[in-house]
């Protein structure tokens, strides 16, 4: 297994976590797991197995009931809500299945969104140029001022990927990023994610249902038992 080392990419250490929603029967338990810097991991599993919840726990969107999650040197599960948000916006990039773009903004404004909703980040000329450059790399250079409502599904997901990349995060978290795309766009978006992760050396943690793309990841983890798909410990 070739692991790409990255200066900005953090090591993720999961120390036997458990989680339960306040309402509902669902309970998630993840044994100890380590993700190396720059590694690309696919999390697979049936619906309701807790893949998305796992992603939220790693991102600090949700907190485990027990156990610890460390991202780099920081134990994210021990941070305050404000600190987790600040950490997330500066160190992580998130891509969602439904894109989650703001319809009333242009392509460029959507890409720059993290800079407009966090006082931790400063929006300056360099950031704008970087946003435009990333958009150009994914083939959106001529649509920067266009409303995202007028884009195709594939283009919208590419905008979402740009938004996740604009802060140059060390960790990319993607929740079924190709789930709503046709095969052509699916390949394109995955290609972009891998390209950008490789370029920045970022760790890529992706939840997916699509078994046809698993061979592109360094490691595949099955959420049914939180073991590597090859049978070894995750």
Partner 1 sequence: MRGSLYLAWRYLAFHPLKTAILVASVTLILTIPAALRVLVAQSERELTQRAEGTPLLIGAKGSPLELVLNSLYFSTEVPERLKYGQVDRVADTGFALPIPLYVRFRSHEDPIIGTSLDYLEFRGLKIAAGRRFAVMGECVLGARLAARRGIAPGGYVISSPESVFDLAGVYPLRMHVVGVLAYSGGPDDDAIFTDVRTTWTIEGLAHGHMDLSKPEAASQVLKKEGDVVVGNASVMQFNEITPDNIRSFHFHGDPADFPLTAVIAVPDSEKSGTLLRGRFMDPGELHQILRPNDVVQELLETVFTIQGFVVAALGLVSATPLTTMALVFSLSLRLRRREIETMVKIGGARLSIAAIVVSEILGVLLAGIVIAGFLTWLIAAFGSDVVRAIVR
- Which positions lie near partner 1, rule CB under 8 A? 56, 59, 61, 81-82, 84-90, 92, 94, 96, 100, 102-105, 109, 113-120, 123, 163
- 29 strand-pairing partners: 18
Task: With H, G, I as helix, E, B as strand and everything else as coil, classify residue 16.
Answer: strand
> Residue 13 Cβ, how far from partner 1 at the closest point, in Å?
21
> Residue 101 Cβ, how far from partner 1 at the closest point, in Å?
8
> Residue 122 Cβ, how far from partner 1 at the closest point, in Å?
10
Contact by Cβ (8 Å): 1, 218: yes
CA distances from 213 to 19, 58, 92, 162, 209 (A): 29, 22, 23, 21, 9
Nearer Cβ to partner 1, position 25 or 103? 103
> Residue 94 Cβ, how far from partner 1 at the closest point, in Å?
6
Nearer Cβ to partner 1, position 205 or 234? 205
Nearer Cβ to partner 1, position 171 or 220? 171
* Distance (Å, whole) CA 52 – CA 206: 10
Nearer Cβ to partner 1, position 123 or 224? 123
Contact by Cβ (8 Å): 31, 9: no
């Amino acid at each position: 297994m070739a692991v790409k080392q990255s200066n900005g990419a953090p090591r993720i250490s999961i120390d036997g976590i458990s989680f339960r929603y306040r309402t509902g029967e669902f309970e998630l338990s993840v044994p100890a797991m380590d993700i190396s810097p720059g590694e690309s991991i696919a999390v697979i599993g049936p619906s309701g197995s807790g893949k998305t919840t796992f992603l939220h726990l790693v991102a600090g969107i949700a907190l485990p009931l027990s156990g610890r999650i460390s991202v780099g040197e920081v134990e994210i599960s021990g941070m305050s809500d404000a600190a987790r948000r600040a950490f997330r916006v500066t160190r992580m990039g998130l891509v969602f299945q439904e894109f989650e773009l703001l319809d009333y903004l242009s392509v460029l404004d959507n890409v720059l969104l993290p800079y407009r909703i966090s006082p931790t980040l400063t929006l300056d000329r360099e950031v704008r140029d970087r946003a435009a450059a990333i958009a150009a790399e994914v083939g959106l250079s001529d649509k920067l001022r266009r409303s995202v409502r007028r884009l195709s599904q594939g283009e919208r997901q590419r905008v979402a990927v740009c938004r996740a990349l604009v802060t140059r995060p060390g960790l990319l978290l993607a929740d079924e990023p190709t789930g709503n795309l046709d095969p052509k766009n699916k390949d394109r978006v995955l290609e972009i994610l891998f390209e950008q992760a490789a370029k920045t050396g970022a760790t890529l943690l992706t939840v997916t249902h699509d078994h046809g793309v698993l061979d592109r990841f360094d490691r595949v983890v099955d959420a049914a038992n939180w073991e590597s798909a090859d049978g070894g410990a995750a």
